[in-house]
Amino acid sequence: MTETVKSLSHLELGERDETFLGSNELIINMGPQHPATHGVLRVILKLDGEKVLGTECVIGYLHRGVEKIAENRTYSMFNPYVDRMDYVAAVSNGLGYCEAVEKLLNIQAPPRANHIRVILTELNRIASHQLWLGTHALDIGAITPLFYTFRDREEILKVFEKYCGARLTTHAFRIGGCLYETYEGFERDVKKFCDFVQPKIDEYEELLTTNRIWVERTKGVGVISAADCKALGVTGPVLRASGVKWDIRKAQPYANYSEFDFEIPTRGAGDTYDRYMVRMAEMRQSLRIIRQAVERIPEGPIMAKVPKVIKPPVGEIYHSIEAPKGELGYFIVSDGSTQPYRVRVRPPSFVNLQALDSMVRGQLVADVIAVIGTLDIVLGEVDR
Amino acid sequence: MQPVATTFFFYFLSALALVGGVLVITRRNAVHSALALIVTLLALAGIYLMLYAPFVAGVQIILYAGGIMVLFLFVIMLVNLERAEKEKQFNKQWLVAIVASGALGLLFVKVFTESKTIPGLLQKPLAELAETSNTQQVGLALYGNYMLAFEIASLLLLVAIVGAVVMAKKKI
Amino acid sequence: MLDYITSYLHSNETPGGAGNMFWAFLYILAIFVGLSIAVIAMNWLERKILAHMQVRLGPMRVGPHGLLQPIADALKLLIKEDIMPAEADQLVFWVAPLITVLAAFTTFIVVPFGPTHAVTDMNIGILFMLGVSSLGVLGIVTAGWASNSHYPLIGSLRSSAQMVSYEIAMGLAVVSAVLMTSLHGSGIYGTGTAGSGIGTLSMIGIVNAQQEQQTWFAFKFFPLGLIALFVFAVAMVAETNRAPFDLPEAESELTAGFHTEYSGFRWSLFFLAEYSAMIAVSSIAVTLWLGGWLRPFANLLSGPTWDLVFSAFPGLTFLGLAAMALFSAKRMPKHRFFKIQTLGLAGFGAVLGLIGLILFIPPVRDRIQDIYWFVAKVAVFMYLYIWYRGTFPRYRFDQLMQVGWKVLLPTGLAVLVATALVGVL
Amino acid sequence: MLPEKGAGAKPATPPKAAAPAVPAKPTGPVPGAWDSAMVARFKRQYGSGIEALTYLGQNYMVVDRSLIPNLLLLLRDQEKFEYCVDITAVHYPKRERQFDVVWILYSFEKNERVRVKTMIGENESLPSSVEIWPTCNWLEREVFDMFGIRFEGHPDLKRILLPEGWRGHPLRKDYGIIQQDKEWVQINLGIESGQ
């Protein structure tokens, strides 16, 4: 335990309560196997009684050196590794990587491929938000939403399985478009899913939104202001819940998002309740996009003309997409050979987790678990 | 309600109370003595029942055993016990102990013998307090002629509560 | 000896009241058996109902529809090794579960299943129940302390603080109900019936008062009774550490519950104590506000025909259960493996049907009326407990204390004062 | 066992954008000069130290190491790049100043993204930009963890992903892909080797 105390030394602590009874500080170690830390995250809490004075996150338990591996694989061989980072939203990882390399190769995926990509990414966003809602509600004590959300998420995983054979780490896209043509009945399944899940989202809201105890446990908990979000580089639903109307799908559209009309839900207070509302609204917006995309899916090739051996010209580019957790960016440096010289992944969970300390300071221990839940972090992406 | 085998219950309960009392002072571990104290209090509640005072017995269980003893245990747990256990338990002052207990014993004997001669000492013979309306009688007495004492006592408690809050409150 | 036994039969007092030790012992035995059956049933019901609320099936494997699951659980708990932590305090560790179970069971001495069906009719009935249920806190405090490890200690301190603070709210709600036994109120609120005028603490007395005043206290002085019932209902959930107030055992919290160090039989004692405390506290609520063993609409739909209809209810419920069992037996898969289970289920259905028929025989039917209605009302409260667990997230500890002290206590006081005022006006 | 790739097939193009000597393939897009009002302002202020380029529509500036702390401050305050997307580094063992440290900045108002690159040598260090953007705290720790580039003024510069006692910086080109700090593994995990 001594080395953790040393590492906490730098923490400038919140003001301590000079109580009459002079309660002593407590250093508690939460994780890395704690049930509510969504994977292997270890949080060292410095407590004054029940109040949190300061926290420090110890990460790296799931570090697999993805960026080092990238330098020893060819471009298309690295594709499956990308799904293993944020294993909950694997499809968006794949989309980001493929589009980055396509940008390097200066080629454009055909419209049909783009439509398929948008449909699958938005389905994946709903699945990721559902998983988030289930586990987040479970941490705060509501047992039932977990079963509802996982039952509905199962439908999405079935569509993935039918389309590309895998449920979670799908490896659905290839550089230049999609490899698999949509199975017949794909549109029917997706439409059926949309109609199936639309009332289900209202069902989640019925359970939680006006539930007094849920409101009391989430309103005013883990507040972060818009300025802090920008300074800490926090993106995604957390940023939008603090009132910043910014979404890469609108700001810098990629993969023909510009053709679909959808809004970006934002709320002002930047607390756990607002992040919950933003993500619920985002699920509905994703459904709108999917419905439009399924209607207008054009015929045509699904793969652009890509050389058999991908050797992009020398140069570097940065391409980022709106993953369910925030801005997921790929900075690829190519030296003209078949293997990337350097692939840097900018993971949203890693940067959002950094905001945990400022959001939790002064709150109670029970809120630390609620805030970790609301940040929606996936440790595969944090540790890479 | 005709009394049932009172003599047996009387001796059993008073023995229980005595043993509990002794245990309270001889136990080295604070929690054990607290439990022993609870046993004595419950035994007392039993004896009250035998004196046809069910209301007092009920209150005894709720207040003493259920309320105060829980707070005793709270305090015992929060204050760390190691220090208390190391200190010497008995201060070996036998002489003072004998004198004090002797005086107390004399007092009891005096009161008991006198009560038969001076009528007013134990006002009413026990059985008279009708068993069914016991609570009503207590209520009437409390709010009737002992109203003032009742109010003063509640004021005192209020002061104690305010004091406790002031002490424990972190930031006023 | 024999006449000692038969002498009680035609007396209309509770066995305790009549000083008849033999029958009192018999009643205690009946309550023990009844309670353990209820706990077993609750265990199965909770898992099944909670499962169906969460779109899943619940235990299905052990016996038809998991009917033998509670027995399997009980057996498992008995066989499991009963570890006592090394430096735990032997005596206190051993005593703690006993205290909780004793407290949970002794409350049933005064629970009135019928005008004469209670072990004894203490004239301080409700006071006794509250007192003994507050003893349960001691068990929890000592359990947390005896396990001699950091987290159960904090867990036990938290749960006892919670129980102590909700006891007060419970007491206030109970006092306002007791007030109603004597006050009839004149003017607009008057119930218009002459009552005995003297209030009573005894449980059977309270139900008799409700019978005389021909109104359940929940509906007397219209909003007040209901508010008092609501205050009591919330406080009782907190008192038994259940559903939204089950903070101490919350697995996502840092502190574990007070019974983490316990295992095997001792842990099952806590489990038993929790369920019997739930039943005890619900029976207080039923006796005080929902007219104990009185059948619903006793005055509205009075008259022999209605009596007949209502008296058929016990038989009908059992026949309904039997129908359900037989129906699901029919729907069991035809596979050879399921043969025994289908037979078992059909047999269970037959037994239920038989009980249903017996309950239609007039002498049995009249005697069972009181107990049936009382148990039915307690069952409603049990369902509420499970429903809470399915829907509510968990309160944070400070919010939990805040609800107790800043919401329930003032409302309890207000209802008390209001009842007194309305009663006297 | 993967064939050990040669130490970097070909040095990347030096900033002066000499034509890449790839024989058969037609020359790919070449980073062209990028001039905008902002670049002009910076050039006037700092003169030689800045070289603004654009490649495939993405603008970036190669900046001399000395300008780093105040140029970034300028970018944040005047040019409203208040969101520091990412800090990373690239290791070119062949060059005399081996590391490229890259800041990726984004401005919400102008909806524009820019990259600032600077080159530093083996054991040179850089002023930390945690005061400018608090998000750089973990990002710089990761660059230090993976490349060994020290950032002065960083509140708590220590490894973030790798265990604290680990020796070696994996993302350097000379750090083999199967290489491991065997000693750390033996001491802490008590197993012979991680492979």
Task: Please check whether residue D140 is in contact with residue D84, taking contact to mean a CB–CB distance below 8 angstroms.
Answer: no
- How confident is the model over D58-72, as pLDDT tens digits? 888 888 888 888 888
DSSP state of A364: B
The domain boundary residue, chosen from B84, B117, B139: B84
User: A66-383 adopts what CATH topology?
Assistant: Cytochrome-c3 Hydrogenase; chain B (1.10.645)
Q: Distance from first CA to last CA of chain A, Å, rounded? A: 26
Please indicate whether, in this complex, the C-beta atoms of A141 and C252 are within 8 angstroms of each other. Answer: yes
Q: Where are chain A's structural domains?
A: 1-61, 66-383
| A51-65, B37-51, B66-80, C92-106: least confidently modelled range | B66-80
Q: Is the pLDDT of residue B155 over 90?
A: yes
Q: Is the pLDDT of residue D123 over 90?
A: no
The residue behind tokens 């020359």 is D27
Length of chain B as a residue count:
172
Chain A touched by C396 (CB under 8 Å): yes
Provide the CB-side half-sphere exposure for D184 (13 A, CA): 10
3-state secondary structure chain D: CCCCCCCCCCCCCCCCCCCCCCCCCCCCCCCEECCCHHHHHHHHHHHHHEEEEEECCEEEEEECHHHHHHHHHHHHHCCCCCEEEEEEEEECCCCCCCEEEEEEEEECCCCEEEEEEEEECCCCEEECCCCCCCCHHHHHHHHHHHHCCEEECCCCCCCCCCCCCCCCCCCCCCCCCCCCCHHHHHHHHCCCCCC
Q: How many Å apart are CA A383 and CA A65, to the nearest integer?
A: 9
ipTM for the complex shown = 0.82
Chain A nearest C-alpha distance from C309 (Å): 39
Task: Please check whether residue D34 is in contact with residue D51, taking contact to mean a CB–CB distance below 8 angstroms.
Answer: no
DSSP state of C299: T
Q: Is residue B62 part of a domain?
A: yes
Q: How many Å apart are CA A153 and CA A131, to the nearest integer?
A: 8
- The total domain count for chain B is 2
Q: Is residue B17 part of a domain?
A: yes
Query: Which A residues in the span 336-355 are in contact with D, Cβ-Cβ below 8 Å?
Result: 336-337, 339, 341-342, 344, 346, 350-351, 354
Say whether both B72 and B143 belong to one domain.
no
Nearest 5°: the CA angle C122, C127, C128 is: 60
The residue behind tokens 């005096």 is B110
**What ranges in chain A are assigned the alpha helix state H?**
2-8, 66-70, 75-83, 90-105, 111-140, 144-164, 186-208, 212-218, 226-232, 237-241, 248-251, 272-295, 348-354, 356-360, 365-375, 379-383
Chain A touched by C47 (CB under 8 Å): no
Length of chain A as a residue count:
384
Amino acid C394: pLDDT:
87
Amino acid C150: pLDDT:
74
Q: Which residues contact C145 (CB under 8 A, 6 or more apart)?
A: B31, B73, B77, C89, C92, C153, C156
Say whether both B3 and B59 belong to one domain.
yes
Neighbours of D45 (CB within 10 A): 13
Chain A touched by D139 (CB under 8 Å): yes
Amino acid A4: pLDDT:
36
Q: Which residue in A252, A253, A285 sits closest to A266, CA to CA?
A: A285
> What number of C-beta contacts closer than 8 Å exist between A and D?
125
Q: Is the pLDDT of residue D4 over 50?
A: no
pLDDT digits (tens), chain C, 425 positions? 777 777 777 777 777 767 777 888 888 999 999 998 999 999 999 999 999 999 888 888 888 888 999 999 889 888 888 888 887 788 888 889 999 999 999 999 888 888 888 888 888 888 888 888 888 888 888 888 888 777 788 788 888 888 888 999 999 999 998 888 877 665 555 555 554 567 788 888 888 888 888 888 888 888 888 999 999 999 999 998 888 888 766 655 666 678 778 888 888 898 899 999 999 999 999 999 998 888 888 777 777 888 888 888 889 999 999 999 999 988 888 888 888 888 999 999 999 999 999 988 888 888 888 889 999 999 999 999 999 998 888 888 888 889 999 999 999 999 999 988 887 77
Q: How many Å apart are CA D185 and CA D170, to the nearest integer?
A: 15
Amino acid A24: pLDDT:
64
Q: Is A317 helix (H, G, I), strand (E, B) or coil?
A: strand
Q: Is the pLDDT of residue D10 over 60?
A: no
Residues A92-120 have a mean pLDDT of 92
In chain B, which residues touch C (CB < 8 A)? 1-2, 4, 29, 31-32, 35, 38, 54-55, 57-59, 61-62, 65-67, 69-71, 73-74, 77-78, 131-136
Q: How many Å apart are CA A255 and CA D86, to the nearest integer?
A: 23
CA A196 to centroid of chain Cα atoms: 24
- How confident is the model over A42-93, as pLDDT tens digits? 888 888 877 888 899 888 888 888 999 999 999 999 999 999 988 899 999 9
- How confident is the model over A233-242, as pLDDT tens digits? 999 999 999 9
Q: Which residue in C425, C420, C418 sits closest to C182, CA to CA?
A: C420
Amino acid B119: pLDDT:
61
Amino acid A100: pLDDT:
93
CA A297 to centroid of chain Cα atoms: 26
Q: How many Å apart are CA C105 and CA C95, to the nearest integer?
A: 15
The domain boundary residue, chosen from B48, B67, B84: B84
Q: Is A15 helix (H, G, I), strand (E, B) or coil?
A: coil
Q: Is the pLDDT of residue A1 over 50?
A: no
Chain C residues within 8 A of B1 when measuring between CB atoms: 17, 19
Pairing state between β D150-152 and D125-127: parallel
Amino acid C280: pLDDT:
93
Say whether both B77 and B138 belong to one domain.
no
Chain C residues within 8 A of B29 when measuring between CB atoms: 89
Say whether both B11 and B75 belong to one domain.
yes
Domain residue limits at B4:
1-84
Please indicate whether, in this complex, the C-beta atoms of D160 and A318 are within 8 angstroms of each other. Answer: no
- How confident is the model over D74-104, as pLDDT tens digits? 888 888 888 999 999 999 988 888 899 999 9
Please tell me which of the candidates D8, D158, D177 has its beta carbon nearest to residue A68: D177
**What is the pLDDT confidence band of residue B164, given thresholds at 50, 70 and 90?**
confident
Q: Is the pLDDT of residue D5 over 50?
A: no
Those chains having 3 or more beta-carbon pairs within 8 angstroms of chain A are: B, C, D
Chain A nearest C-alpha distance from B169 (Å): 8
CATH (domain of B30): 1.20.120.1200
DSSP state of A303: B
pTM (global) more than 0.95: no
Q: Which residue in C203, C196, C359 sits closest to C286, CA to CA?
A: C203
Chain C nearest C-alpha distance from B100 (Å): 33
**What is the pLDDT confidence band of residue D20, given thresholds at 50, 70 and 90?**
very low
Please indicate whether, in this complex, the C-beta atoms of D86 and A244 are within 8 angstroms of each other. Answer: no
Those chains having 3 or more beta-carbon pairs within 8 angstroms of chain D are: A
Chain A touched by B103 (CB under 8 Å): no
